[in-house]
Chain A
Amino acid sequence: MKKFINNNDDFLKESLTGFGKAHSDIINVNLDPSFVSRKNKTKDGKVSLISGGGSGHEPMHGGFVGHGMLDAACPGFVFSAPTPDQMQAAAEHVDSGAGVLFIVKNYSGDIMNFEMGAEMYSGKNDSIITNDDVAVEDSTFTIGRRGVAATVLVEKIVGSLAEHSGTLEECKKLGEKVNKNAGTMGVAFTSCTVPAAGKPTFDIGDDEMEFGVGIHGEPGRKREKIQPSKTIVGNILEAILDNLKPEKNEKNLLFVNGMGGTPLTELYLVYEDACQILQSKGIQVTKSLVGNYCTSLEMQGASITLLKCDDEILKHWDAPVHTAAMRWGM
């Protein structure tokens, strides 16, 4: 394992401390229990949005704390759900009287810990669960699909509604709509290495890719030989379109997300391939996002998310945002 690391026990604390110093104009980092919160207190009467999850997906979620997005984020150990005391402390810190909405990715550990955090918190709160990964078949026999990159879009769009005086109920409803309108699928070329493990999570040949990979290096739909970008992108989009079934006149946001180890040059190439394929099918792309937003440590690979947008979603997507990892309009 080659990483910038001093010792494993301090890995997360040192990284969080650095994150706090680098973005001290936007956020504060609290340790023991760990949470990232806005530098300026949430204004009175604004619904507070709190997300969180295992670390290793940076900039998600700490990088999305700030005006127009989250009020706080709770980072767990690498790829491990955060603990209930973190959510409780973050909620107590940011709640300004309008209630707290927890945004949780659909993993057993995250759901259990957020549930316990919500039970321990005495103020008004509710939760939404994201589950946009179409690589996993949704059936009544599983806990459902994984929550992956569309969580970023949910946080941005609901963040804007909360900033514009949306109530807790309205924020939850919009978040659920965005989640339902989004589909994601990812491909990995290499594994990632969890610092505590010291070696790659899975073995993969030089000429192989994991199709439908999860954001923790979990296996996906199948292991395949590597193919030209157009073929890979075409297969990903086919799975997403099968699931979302967008109408021809519908507007869409196309999000190409890097897993951490793929350069932007390749991500833009993926974006171009995806645009061409969608255009050939008569599907409109009106908004875009390209970059490393929901990563898996140093994994090489990318995911594509398509979000069907109505006017409400478009308005809140365009609204100003000022966080460490996303900034426009201000």
Chain B
Amino acid sequence: MSVSFLISQAKSVQKVIDENSAEIEVLDQKIGDGDHIFNIQRGLKLVVELEDAIKDLPLAKALNMIAMKVLSGIGGSSGALFGTFFMTMAKSSDLDKDVDFNKACEMIISGIKAMKERGKADVGEKTMMDVLLPVSEKLNELKNESEFKPGLNEVIKIAEERMLSTKDMLATKGRASFLGERAKGHIDPGARSSQLIIDTICKSVINN
């Protein structure tokens, strides 16, 4: 993981999220209040715009700037959760050394753990954690393997299955929880956007 990797991933994710924005917006309007996609898009735009400011910085500093930008520029649940994610990544030790696959996995795992604590949500509550927590578990299995590309295909599959599984869940966290039975039958918009992010990044790592 490097600063240029982060910037290029942010650009790819931005493209994919923009392509799927209409779908996510509709999902959120069905069970939320419709702000999720705008928050994610605003956040990605702000991160991509940071390119000139962070491209020559050490990784820890760049992650910290991304965290602060996400935290202060997005708002809503997404801002707090993704801000927490990047802040936790920035606090990892030894970021001045080479960040290999193992180290990157550990950073992502600790970032997702911090998101779980901030949002107080677990698997089965119809939120983005339904995708992120199983992905984190899989990365924990994969992190020590020298040939990790086949494993990343499994991560892609897990993310997709878990995203789809939110469709029949009752929400017990987030704004959809106020709907009770009426939230059933719709995929959680946060689970969908998280799955798209994971899908994009894993594919890019596999193809490089």
Binding site for B on A (CB under 8 A): 33, 54, 76-86, 107-109, 112-113, 115-116, 133, 136-137, 141-143, 145-146, 194, 196-197, 201-202, 214, 216-219
- Expressed in whole angstroms, the minimum distance between the Cβ of B8 and any Cβ of chain A is 25
Binding site for A on B (CB under 8 A): 25, 29, 31-35, 38-39, 42, 71-81, 83-84, 118-119, 170-175, 177-180, 182
A218 x B35 contact (CB < 8 A): no
B71 x A83 contact (CB < 8 A): yes
A167 vs B174: C-alpha distance in the bound complex, in angstroms? 33
Since A202-B29, A219-B182 are in contact, a sample of 7 more A-B pairs with Cβ atoms closer than 8 Å, ordered by chain A residue number, is A80-B74, A82-B75, A108-B77, A141-B170, A142-B178, A142-B180, A218-B179
Q: Please list 18 pairs of residues, one from A and one from B, whose beta carbons are closer than 8 Å in the complex, sorted by A's number.
A: A76-B76, A77-B39, A79-B33, A83-B72, A84-B83, A108-B174, A109-B175, A112-B77, A112-B80, A116-B71, A116-B84, A133-B178, A137-B180, A143-B177, A196-B38, A201-B29, A218-B179, A219-B182
A202 cross-chain contacts in B, Cβ below 8 A: 29
Query: Of residues B31, B38, B78, B81, which shows the largest number of chain A Cβ atoms within 10 Å of its Cβ?
Result: B38
Closest 9 CB pairs of A and B: A216-B33, A112-B80, A109-B77, A80-B76, A80-B75, A142-B177, A109-B76, A76-B75, A85-B72
A152 vs B25: C-alpha distance in the bound complex, in angstroms? 30
The residue from A115, A116, A136, A196 contacting B178, defined by CB atoms under 8 A apart? A136
A33 cross-chain contacts in B, Cβ below 8 A: 72
A84 cross-chain contacts in B, Cβ below 8 A: 71-72, 80, 83
The residue from A78, A83, A86, A143 contacting B74, defined by CB atoms under 8 A apart? A83
B77 cross-chain contacts in A, Cβ below 8 A: 81, 108-109, 112
B118 cross-chain contacts in A, Cβ below 8 A: 112, 115-116
B172 cross-chain contacts in A, Cβ below 8 A: 141-143
- Expressed in whole angstroms, the minimum distance between the Cβ of A191 and any Cβ of chain B is 9
- Expressed in whole angstroms, the minimum distance between the Cβ of B43 and any Cβ of chain A is 11
A77-B75, A82-B75, A112-B77 given as contacts; is B34 within 8 A of A217 (CB)?
yes
- Expressed in whole angstroms, the minimum distance between the Cβ of A153 and any Cβ of chain B is 21
Q: Whose C-beta in chain B lies nearest to the C-beta of A215?
A: B33
A81 x B34 contact (CB < 8 A): no
A112 cross-chain contacts in B, Cβ below 8 A: 77, 80-81, 118-119
The residue from B75, B80, B174 contacting A143, defined by CB atoms under 8 A apart? B174
B73 cross-chain contacts in A, Cβ below 8 A: 83
A85 cross-chain contacts in B, Cβ below 8 A: 71-72
A116 vs B42: C-alpha distance in the bound complex, in angstroms? 20
A214 cross-chain contacts in B, Cβ below 8 A: 33, 178
Q: Whose C-beta in chain B lies nearest to the C-beta of A200?
A: B29
A115 vs B77: C-alpha distance in the bound complex, in angstroms? 12
Q: Whose C-beta in chain A lies nearest to the C-beta of B176?
A: A218
B35 cross-chain contacts in A, Cβ below 8 A: 54, 77-80, 194, 196, 216
B78 cross-chain contacts in A, Cβ below 8 A: 109
Q: Whose C-beta in chain B lies nearest to the C-beta of A75?
A: B75
A80 vs B81: C-alpha distance in the bound complex, in angstroms? 13
A84 vs B182: C-alpha distance in the bound complex, in angstroms? 32
A136 vs B174: C-alpha distance in the bound complex, in angstroms? 13
A136 vs B177: C-alpha distance in the bound complex, in angstroms? 9
A201 x B79 contact (CB < 8 A): no
A80 vs B175: C-alpha distance in the bound complex, in angstroms? 12
B79 x A81 contact (CB < 8 A): yes
B179 cross-chain contacts in A, Cβ below 8 A: 218-219
A107 vs B175: C-alpha distance in the bound complex, in angstroms? 7
A137 cross-chain contacts in B, Cβ below 8 A: 180
Query: Of residues B35, B71, B177, which shows the largest number of chain A Cβ atoms within 10 Å of its Cβ?
Result: B35
A14 vs B118: C-alpha distance in the bound complex, in angstroms? 32
- Expressed in whole angstroms, the minimum distance between the Cβ of B40 and any Cβ of chain A is 11
Q: Whose C-beta in chain B lies nearest to the C-beta of A202?
A: B29
- Expressed in whole angstroms, the minimum distance between the Cβ of A32 and any Cβ of chain B is 9
